[in-house]
Amino acid sequence: MERFSPNQPSSLTLLDKIFFLQGHSQNHHNNSWILSQNTRDSQIYGIPQYLENPKPRVMATKPKLFYFCGRGRMESIRWLLAAAGVEFEEEFIETTEQYEKLLKDGRLLFGQVPMVEIDGMVLTQTRAILSYLAAKYDLYGKDLKETVRINMYTDGTLDLMLMIAVAAFKPPAEKEESLALVVKRAKTRYFPVFEKILKDHGEDFLVGNKFSWADIQLLEAILMVEELDASVLSEFPLLKAFKTRISNIPTIKKFLQPGSQRKPPPDSHYVEVVRSVLHF
C-alpha cells in the first residue's frame, strides 16, 4: 500500500479548486495520539490506539438502542458505536403494546424511533444521535472545516442508505425500480465522488488523514449496495482498497463477523412487524 508522504507538496487538484478556492495545504501529519513507537496497525492505518485493541469501554451504563430488529434507520448508529468500540444493548420493538408504552412514557420526543438512551439523555432523530456519537468518540474531524466535510459526505451516504431502507416497504415493482435507482446513484453520483477524494489526497481515510465517521458510513454504504449488485465497485479501485482496509480495522472486523449486532437486509417478516407496530 502506497504511503502518502505528509511533506509532499500538494499541487492544487481539481477537487481543491472546487472545495477550497484558495490554496489550502492540509496538515496531514496528525499522529499525536499514537502512543507507541512500534510499528503497529495504529501507525499503518492511522487509527486511534483504542480501536486497535478493542477493550470494552467501561461505562456507567451502556447505551441502549430502541428499534425494530432490523436495519432501518438504526443501522448506521449500530455501525458507529461498534466501530468506536462501544458496547451497547438493544431493546427490540416487536408489538404495538411495546411501542405504545414507549410513547406513553414520553420517551419518544416526536413519537418515533430510533431512540437511544445514552449519558442520561433520551435521544431521538437519527442524525442527532449520529452527530452526538461522532463528536463524543472523536470521529468528527479536528476542526470545523473537517467537520463540514464529514457532514457533507455522511449526508450523502445516509441519503443513499435511506433510499434502500425505504424501498423495503414499497410494492414489488416499485421496490425493484427504487433499488435499481440506488445502484445507479451509487455508481454515478456517490461512489465517483469518494473515489476521487481518495485519489486526490492519496490518504487512507476520507478526511484529515484520520479515521472518522465518514469512513465508517461509506463502508456501510458500500456493503449495502454490494448486496444489491456485487459488481458495483468494479470501476472504483480505490474504494475496493478502502473497503478492505476499513473492514480490517479490528472493531469493524469484529462487527462484520456472524453473531454480532449487525442486522441483515430487510425481509418480509421485518416489513410485516414494522407495518403492524406502526399501523401503515
- Least distance in Å: CB of 188 to other proteins? 9
116-135 positions binding other proteins, by CB under 8 A: 119, 121, 123-129, 131-132, 135
Show the cell assigned to 111.
Answer: 413519537
- Closest among 54, 52, 57, 33 to 42, alpha carbons compared: 52
Between CA 220 and CA 228 the distance in angstroms is: 13
- Least distance in Å: CB of 133 to other proteins? 9
Angle between helices 172-185 and 213-228 (to 10 degrees): 130
Q: What pairs with residue 117 in β-bridges?
A: 64, 122
Residue closer to other proteins by CB (options 35, 193) is 193
Between CA 216 and CA 220 the distance in angstroms is: 6
Show the cell assigned to 25.
Answer: 495545504
22 makes contact with other proteins (CB under 8 A): yes
Angle between helices 213-228 and 126-136 (to 10 degrees): 130
- Least distance in Å: CB of 215 to other proteins? 17
Sequence letter at residue 81: L
Q: Which residues of 181-213 are buried (b: 16+ CB within 10 A; e: fewer)?
A: ebbebbbeebbeebbbbbeebebbbbbbbbbbb
| Binding-residue pattern over the window 171 to 200 for other proteins, x denoting contact by CB under 8 A | ------------------xx--x-------
Residue closer to other proteins by CB (options 157, 251) is 157
241-280 positions binding other proteins, by CB under 8 A: none
Pairing outcome for strands 89-92 and 64-67: parallel
49 makes contact with other proteins (CB under 8 A): no
Q: Which of 35, 152, 180, 181 binds other proteins (CB under 8 A)?
A: 152
Residue closer to other proteins by CB (options 119, 267) is 119
- Least distance in Å: CB of 201 to other proteins? 15
| Binding-residue pattern over the window 2 to 21 for other proteins, x denoting contact by CB under 8 A | ------------x---xxxx
155-174 positions binding other proteins, by CB under 8 A: 155-156
Element (H, E) at 228: helix 213-228
238 makes contact with other proteins (CB under 8 A): no
Binding site for other proteins (CB under 8 A): 14, 18-22, 24, 109-111, 119, 121, 123-129, 131-132, 135-136, 144-145, 147-148, 151-152, 155-156, 189-190, 193
